């Protein structure tokens, strides 16, 4: 599949949802539904870095996991490399998982402290029938070198490494079976700023070298600006705006995007009509979503229609935006 601009699509979702039922069962009380992902349609292009941003609790991590079917979707479609994933059995999914990997946030928690690095790296290789023990050992050494660590560390345990080194090992493990699509879930958030820059440089080099596509989940807009090609902005389980990084930062069209971006220092800050409006109120509960536009309780530009009619994602001035009154910049 290709886009209008001729780029190849690696992964797409259509009306993807993930709802959780919470509570209920006590004294006949009904359970309540958390709409963590609520109708997400998007396309990820080959070899791009697509950043997904939004406040904590907006459904970013759930979306990343559901896209890989690490959590089962409630409804909707996920198409990876031309194959619809939601109907696949565990065996077929296992074969595809080689190509779709995840790098987790916490380099301390994501590596088994009782395993040597060689065992950690060999595990995904063995489980996908990579080759003979000698070939697996060779691949483990190759993987450590790929992420800039010396092969002598293969005998070490995770506690013998710094946070940045552990995240390099996490990346090496994700790349063991030569994936082409990698979800990076807040993968540099737990690192110091200088180490963060080194790991981002490594990810960029690996993307060039191995032709990787990244789905980069983060709340850090400075990282997005430096690292991403395109950005999707998520609010309460929905995408509210998608565009190139340059466009999103220079000319946000959705009020929520503008208010998020306003928090990032810029050399040429633009404000709508001089003074920047402020985000109002608290984020609504995903169990009690407001009617109409789900951002209307916080939006400084809300009008009557916003309280009753849910805006659809539509193309507007080169972005995709879900707002009845996209901003003029
Ligand atoms: Fe604000 Fe209305 Fe746009 Fe929602 S639809 S973001 S409430 S202006």
| Ligand 1 atom having least distance to the Cα of 307 | 7
Residue 113: CB atoms within 10 Å: 9
Q: Give me the mean pLDDT over the 238-258 stretch.
A: 96
Lowest mean pLDDT among 42-46, 78-82, 123-127, 191-195: 191-195
Ligand 1 center to 281 CA (angstroms): 14
Ligand 1 center to 301 CA (angstroms): 6
Ligand 1 center to 260 CA (angstroms): 15
Question: Is 322 touching ligand 1 by the criterion CB < 6 Å?
Answer: no
Q: Evaluate whether 261 touches 246 at the Cβ level (below 8 Å).
A: no
Q: At residue 196, does pLDDT exceed 50?
A: yes
Taking all residues of the chain, what is their mean pLDDT, rounded to a whole number? 90
Based on DSSP, count helices (H) and strands (E) in the chain, helices before strands.
Answer: 9, 12
Q: Evaluate whether 29 touches 23 at the Cβ level (below 8 Å).
A: yes
Ligand 1 center to 183 CA (angstroms): 30
Structure token pair of residue 85: 């994933």
Most ligand 1 atoms within 8 A of CB, residue of 257, 309, 313, 324 to mutate: 324
Q: Give me the mean pLDDT over the 269-292 stretch.
A: 72
What domains, with CATH codes, occur in the chain?
1-96+182-192+203-264 (3.40.50.300), 100-178 (no CATH)
Question: Is 323 touching ligand 1 by the criterion CB < 6 Å?
Answer: yes
Task: Give the angle subtended at the CA of 304 by the CAs of 296 and 270, to the nearest 5°.
Answer: 55
Ligand 1 center to 282 CA (angstroms): 16
Cα 36 from Cα 238, distance rounded (Å): 9
Ligand 1 center to 122 CA (angstroms): 50
CA torsion through residues 269, 191, 60, 52, sign: positive
Q: At residue 61, does pLDDT exceed 80?
A: yes
Ligand 1 center to 319 CA (angstroms): 16
Lowest mean pLDDT among 140-149, 154-163, 263-272, 304-313: 263-272
Question: Is 130 touching ligand 1 by the criterion CB < 6 Å?
Answer: no
Structure token pair of residue 322: 């879900």
| pLDDT of amino acid 270 | 46
| pLDDT of amino acid 32 | 86
The backbone torsions φ and ψ at residue 89, rounded to the nearest 5 degrees and listed phi first, read -75, 170
The backbone torsions φ and ψ at residue 133, rounded to the nearest 5 degrees and listed phi first, read -55, -40
| pLDDT of amino acid 24 | 66
Residue 4 pLDDT level (bands cut at 50, 70, 90): low
* 170-191 as b/e: b if 16+ CB within 10 A: bbbbbbbbebbbbbbbbbbebb
* 3-state SS class at 140: helix
Sheet holding 83-84, edge to edge: 32-45, 9-22, 75-80, 83-84
Lowest mean pLDDT among 68-77, 242-251, 263-272: 263-272
Question: Is 276 touching ligand 1 by the criterion CB < 6 Å?
Answer: no
| pLDDT of amino acid 273 | 46
Q: Give me the mean pLDDT over the 132-148 stretch.
A: 97
Q: At residue 261, does pLDDT exceed 80?
A: yes
Most ligand 1 atoms within 8 A of CB, residue of 233, 284, 306, 316 to mutate: 306
Cα 178 from Cα 156, distance rounded (Å): 23
Ligand 1 center to 298 CA (angstroms): 9
Q: What is the CA radius of gyration of the chain?
A: 21
| Ligand 1 atom having least distance to the Cα of 294 | 4
In tens, the pLDDT along 156-195 reads 999 999 999 999 999 999 999 999 999 999 888 888 888 9
N-to-C CA span, the chain: 33
Nearest Cα to Cα of residue 213 among 50, 41, 90:
50
Cα 290 from Cα 58, distance rounded (Å): 15
Q: Evaluate whether 14 touches 41 at the Cβ level (below 8 Å).
A: yes
Cα 323 from Cα 273, distance rounded (Å): 19
- CB-count burial class (<10 Å; 0-12, 13-18, 19+) for 199: buried
DSSP E strands in the chain: the ranges are 9-22, 32-45, 49-53, 75-80, 83-84, 100-103, 181-185, 213-217, 230-235, 238-244, 314-316, 319-321
């Amino acid at each position: 599949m290709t886009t209008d601009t001729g780029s190849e699509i690696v992964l797409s979702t259509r009306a993807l949802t993930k709802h959780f039922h919470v509570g209920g069962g006590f004294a006949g009380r009904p359970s309540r539904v958390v709409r963590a992902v609520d109708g997400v349609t998007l396309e990820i292009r080959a070899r791009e870095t697509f950043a997904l941003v939004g406040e904590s609790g907006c459904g970013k991590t759930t979306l990343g996991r559901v896209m890989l079917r690490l959590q089962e979707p409630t409804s909707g479609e996920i198409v990876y490399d031309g194959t619809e994933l939601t109907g696949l059995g565990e065996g077929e999914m296992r074969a595809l998982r080689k190509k779709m990997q995840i790098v987790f946030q916490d380099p301390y928690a994501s590596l088994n402290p009782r395993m040597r690095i060689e065992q950690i790296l060999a595990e995904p290789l063995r489980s996908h029938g990579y080759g003979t023990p000698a070939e697996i050992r060779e691949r483990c050494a190759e993987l450590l070198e790929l992420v800039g660590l010396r092969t002598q560390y293969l005998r070490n345990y995770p506690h013998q490494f710094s946070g940045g080194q552990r995240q390099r090992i996490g990346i090496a493990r994700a790349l063991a079976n030569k994936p082409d699509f990698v979800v990076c879930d807040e993968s540099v958030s737990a690192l110091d700023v200088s180490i963060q820059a080194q790991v981002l440089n490594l990810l960029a080099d690996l993307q060039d070298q191995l032709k990787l596509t990244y789905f980069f989940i983060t709340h850090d807009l400075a990282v997005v600006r430096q690292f991403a090609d395109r950005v999707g902005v998520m609010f309460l389980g929905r995408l509210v705006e998608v565009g190139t990084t340059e466009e999103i930062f220079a000319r946000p069209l959705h009020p929520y995007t503008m208010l998020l971006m306003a928090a990032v220092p810029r050399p040429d800050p633009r404000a709508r009509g001089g003074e920047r409006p402020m985000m109002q109120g608290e984020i609504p509960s995903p169990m009690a979503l407001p009617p109409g536009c789900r951002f209307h309780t916080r939006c400084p530009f809300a009008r009557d229609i916003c309280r009753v009619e849910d805006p659809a994602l539509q193309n507007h001035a080169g972005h995709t935006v879900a707002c009845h009154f996209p901003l003029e910049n």
